[in-house]
Homo-oligomer: A and B are copies of this chain.
Amino acid sequence: MSTERITAGRPRSSSRSTIEEAAAELFLEQSYGGTTVDEITQRAGVSRATFFNYFDAKSDLLWMDADRALDALDARLANGAELIDAVSATASEIGPERVPLAVTQAEVMGTGEELVSSGLVRVGRLVSMVRAAIMAHPPQEHDELVVAVRANVLAGALVAAWSTWIRGGVERRPLSRYLDEAIALVQL
């Protein structure tokens, strides 16, 4: 993946996963907003500076699962996979337990501004990826507006599928069902 060690040097301790676990615990106990980075690193037995070696922002902790999925999608697209195929393949790796902390937190603490905006950052990333994929497979379309609309529409459908799947609760169908249905709705 991204964090592959190449040469020698001081090896990473298990800091990353330790931090993730400490954060998950604390968020359950105190909620996201009620937990400081200091508390997380203290429980993880790690210095505060180390936290920012591993995460760009506290809100990254809410979206680790989503980010990993987006990374996987990105990798497939970089390999030249067709967009819809790449989406399907990535979705098939997302089991029912892969509900981002952000969602459980939203239920507990309402939809804070930070929660919304950090989540929308991921949507923005998805839109960028979709647009790049569309432009890489140009079905003779170069009109700026048409490309922009297609990218936003497709990304919007994917997000709708994903969020509906999330809200489906325990008895929901697999994510791929929702995706197929959503994509069918926007295929002209």
| Residues of chain A whose beta carbon lies under 8 Å from any beta carbon of chain B | 56, 113, 116-118, 120-121, 123-124, 144-146, 148-153, 155-157, 159-161, 163-164, 167, 178, 181-182, 185-186
Contacts and interface: CB of A to CB of B under 8 A. Distances in A.
Q: Which 9 A-B pairs have the closest CB atoms?
A: A152-B156, A120-B120, A148-B160, A156-B156, A117-B117, A149-B160, A145-B164, A152-B160, A153-B153
A120 B113 contact: no
Contacts of A118: 117
A178 B163 CA distance: 29
B157 A144 contact: no
A161 B113 CA distance: 26
A2 B88 CA distance: 46
A121 B117 CA distance: 6
Given A120-B124, A153-B185, A186-B186, 10 more contacts: A56-B113, A117-B117, A144-B164, A145-B178, A149-B157, A149-B185, A149-B186, A152-B160, A153-B153, A153-B157
Given A117-B118, A118-B117, A186 B153 contact: yes
A142 to B, nearest CB: 13
Contacts of A113: 56, 121
Contacts of A123: 120, 123
A146 B186 CA distance: 10
A167 B145 CA distance: 10
A2 to B, nearest CB: 18
